[in-house]
Structure 1
Amino acid sequence: MTTESKVDRMLIESAVPTFDTMIAEHLVVHAGPETTFAAARNVDFLTVRTPLLAAAMWIRGLPARWSRHTVVAPRRLVLAEGVGLPGWLLLGQTQGREIAFGAVGKFWQPDIEWLDVPRADFAGFAEPGWGKIAANFTVTGYGEQSSLLSYQVRTVTTDPESRRRFRRYWWLIRPFVAHIMRATLRTVRADAEASG
């Protein structure tokens, strides 16, 4: 006899149920789920240190610098404080389990165009010419005193031409995205283990 257990749908699955690309990274944290989740909610993305991230941000800012367009960088980028960037929004969180965030934009362009979309409209947004990014952190117990921390990113485009452009862009940046995600997980782990 088998027993079926109900599996709750994740916020990221509700926001982007089907996707063009998906990448996920996982890491064991030697701290309990509550401490690990708090560290994920409170990580300042601007404190994630990796030479590749610094190089990627510098390269990504070239078009704006060439056009003499002033880009004002936020001083902090913490999910628990709201995302605080054009186009980005907090999609929601579940108690101690998942926090999800996302954006609508033309992120395959050299100078990204972001679109502010209300959270209630994010999942159904389908205006041609755009793409959606949804990302999340999830935390589950792993043994008696540890946690499994996951970071997932999904992207979906709204029309075939945008999909074609994005796939070409994704082929180039995917290794950098994975590297930055792993660096972010290591930062969260360090914060959780230091406070646990």
Structure 2
Amino acid sequence: MKSLDAYLPAYEFSTRHEVAIGVDPVRADRALREVTFQERPLVRALSLVRGLGTRRADDTMLATMVPRATVLEDVPGEGMVLTLTGQFWRLRGRGPEPPATAVIDFRALPGRLATETRVHVPDPVSRRKFGRYWRIIRPFSGLIRMLVLRAAKRRAEAA
């Protein structure tokens, strides 16, 4: 898979999470794609709070992201790269500010599962607004990512 630099080389906000895993990348990637909200009810609850979640516990977490995102790269056995654009700092509607661009990857690498999020906000006003939003949302977003990675690890290593 391409580096995230190929998709979003300039960004102002980022976060990265990973877990060590004792299976090959193909098995790890399959497990990551199969993790459901039923395995991690807290992820479902946090997603529903923000209006991003699903009503069904048996939906896979990655599959619920795809309708709202554009898949930039999807390589079975390696991972997936998605992009979203929007005014993430706004709960509803659109303002006059230009949208931000987010790129998110989920990768199965030898010995680890990883995810990284990068966000580019094109102008100073939007950047300040997104920065306030990011300070609030980042810990919860990070928690969701770690719970997903740990669920995938558990699923892959149990198979």
* Runs (5+) with no aligned partner, structure 2: none
Alignment of 1:27-106 (within 5 A): 27-44=19-36, 46-47=37-38, 49-51=40-42, 54=45, 56-61=46-51, 73=54, 75=56, 76-77=59-60, 79=62, 83-85=66-68, 88-94=69-75, 96-106=77-87
Q: Alpha-carbon deviation of 1:166?
A: 0.3
> Which runs of no fewer than 5 residues in structure 1 stay unpaired?
1-7, 62-70, 114-127, 142-146
Distance 1:43 1:59, change over 3 A: closer
Instruction: Give identity over the alignment, percent.
Output: 26
User: What secondary structure is seen at the aligned counterpart in 1 of 2:83?
Assistant: strand
What displacement does 1:34 show? 1.2
The 5 Å alignment of 1:102-141 reads: 102-111=83-92, 129-141=98-110
Q: How many residues align?
A: 155
* Higher-Rg member (1/2): 1
Aligned-residue offset at 1:100: 0.7
What is the CA–CA distance in structure 1 between the aligned matches of 2:148 and 2:76, rounded to whole Å?
21
TM-score normalized by structure 2? 0.81
8 Å Cα contact 1:79/1:90 also seen in 2? no
Structure 2: distance between partners of 1:171 and 1:72: 21
| CA distance, structure 2, for counterparts of residue 41 and residue 110 of structure 1 | 28
Helix, strand or coil for the counterpart of 2:14? strand
Report the RMSD for the aligned CA atoms in angstroms: 2.8
Measured after TM superposition, the shift of residue 24 of structure 1 is: 0.6
Output one character per residue of 1:66-110: Cα deviation in whole Å (capped at 9) or x when no partner: xxxxx994753554798123xx12111345323111211111112
